[in-house]
Amino acid sequence: MEKIIDYLVNERNKKPMVAVKVTASFEQHDDIRAELEVWVARREYPVFDCVTVEGYTAAAISKLAPFMDGVGVYNFLVTLRERPDNGKKIIAAGFPRK
C-alpha cells in the first residue's frame, strides 16, 4: 500500500491523511491493490492475466473514462465488485462528472 500512498502524496499532491483514506478501499481487495501497485510502477495497465470485474478490466475502464488516473480506475473496479449495479449504471451514463 505504501507505493500507492507515495504516488498520491508525491505525484498527485494529496495530503497523507487523504491518501490513506483513498487507499482504504483496496484493503479488502488484494488482487486489485496488487495490480494498482504495478500500474504505479509502470504507468501501464496489464493486458494479460489482469483483474476482471463484471467483464471489465482496468484498461477497459481507462478507455471509457480517460480522465481517471490509475487510482481512480482501480477504485472504480472496487465499486464494480462491491456494488455492481451502481457501477454498471455509472458506465451506462458515460461516467458523469459533477
pLDDT value of residue 7:
94
CA–CA separation, 46 and 49 (whole Å)? 7
Handedness of CA 74, 79, 85, 89 (dihedral sign): negative
What pLDDT, in 10s, does the model give residues 21-39? Answer: 999 999 999 999 999 999 9
- The single-letter DSSP state of residue 36 is H
Where exactly are the structural domains of the chain?
2-92
Number of Cβ atoms within 10 Å of the Cβ of 40:
19
Whether 12 has a pLDDT exceeding 90, the answer reads yes
